[in-house]
Structure 1
Amino acid sequence: MTMPLQRITYVEDDHDIRAIAELALGTLGGYELDLCENGQQAIERIPRFRPDMVLLDVMMPVMDGVETLKTLKSMPEVAAIPVIFMTAKAQRHEVQSYKAIGALDVITKPFDPIELPARIAEIWIRFVAGCEDIRREAS
């Protein structure tokens, strides 16, 4: 049984990109969203919002995405929440380094707003299936 994806925190400093993602994920995807302008704001709000997933820009002022991910992973109450980077910095070595520090996946910007909800859902299904496989192996 697949756990449904319902709540997403999206962390993006660019107002226009945030607005497009809000339309794509909220209106088209039907997700409940918490929109944050930077990593510090996300660190403060994620424990209260309790998202199922975090979408995180890499290049942001105040606290960049890499620092934000590392901080989230150090917080036991939210460390297990899967994080996807959404970034224009997506060369092969960059993607590998993001995954090495705990990112579930990377979505390249610019993204297609119409396809974004389906892309997020596909990544979520892979994540949940992986969790179920781990549980089966452990029992």
Structure 2
Amino acid sequence: MVPKRVLVIDDEELIQEVIQASLEDIVGWEVLLASSGAEGLTVAASQSPDVILLDVSMPIMDGIETFKKLQDDSATQTIPVIFLTAKVQPSDKAIFSQLGVAGVIAKPFDPMTLYKEVSEILGWKS
């Protein structure tokens, strides 16, 4: 079976490392990394990941703006996006659901069960 390919777009290197170690070591998924929205758009278009884990709070281009640009590009608009965020108030969740993201995973998350959360949101068998 071909491993899932996950693109992580997050400006915090430590978060990238934790997610990469978690998903590669526990379930053997391939993890691609991008440190900014702009870099993430380039990687998403060239690598066609199975899912994008996208940080909402980033400098220059935040996650919401990045998500909108992904949706505007025919090469990336079908890739499911899961927001990673500490913003989990009802008002934030309402905004996220209106955007049409696949799901939201709250920070801090448990690295040992992150793959389960991603799989549940996307309906993947883990």
> TM-score under structure 2 normalisation?
0.92
Letter in 2 for 1:27: D
Corresponding position of 1:137 = none
Detail structure 1 runs of 4+ shifted over 6 Å in the superposition. Answer: none
Distance 1:8 1:111, change over 3 A: same
Instruction: Please point out which of 18, 43, 60 is paired with 1:20.
Output: 18
- C-alpha displacement at 1:96, in angstroms? 1.6
Counterpart-to-counterpart distance in 1, 2:10 and 2:38: 11
Q: What is the match of residue 79 of structure 2?
A: 81
Distance across 1 between alignment mates of 2:15 and 2:4 = 21
Contact 2:3 2:28 in 1 (8 A): no
How many angstroms apart in 2 are the aligned matches of 1:77 and 1:24? 28
Residue type at the aligned position of 2:43: R
Equivalent position of 2:54 in the other structure: 56
Larger Rg: 1
Q: Find the aligned partners of 1:18 and 1:6 in 2 and give their Cα distance.
A: 17
Q: Residue by residue, what CA displacement relative to the aligned partner does 1:15-43 show, whole Å, maximum 9, x if unpaired? A: 11111111111111211111110111001
- Can you give the 5+ residue segments of structure 1 that lack an aligned partner in the other structure? 129-139
Aligned to 1:131: none
- 3-state secondary structure, aligned to 1:73: helix
Displacement after TM superposition at 1:93 (Å): 1.3
Report the count of equivalent residues. Answer: 124
List runs of 5+ in structure 2 lacking aligned partners: none
Contact 1:56–1:84 (Cα < 8 Å) also in 2? yes
Q: Which amino acid aligns with 2:75?
A: E
Instruction: Give the TM-score normalised by structure 1.
Output: 0.84
The residue number in structure 1 matching 2:97 is: 99
Find the residue that maps to 2:104 and give its secondary structure: strand
How far did 1:5 drift? 6.7
Aligned pairs for 1:90-129 (under 5 A) are 90-125=88-123
Q: Which amino acid aligns with 1:102?
A: G
Letter matched to residue 32 of structure 2: D
- Give the percent of matched residue pairs that are identical in Structure 1 and Structure 2: 35
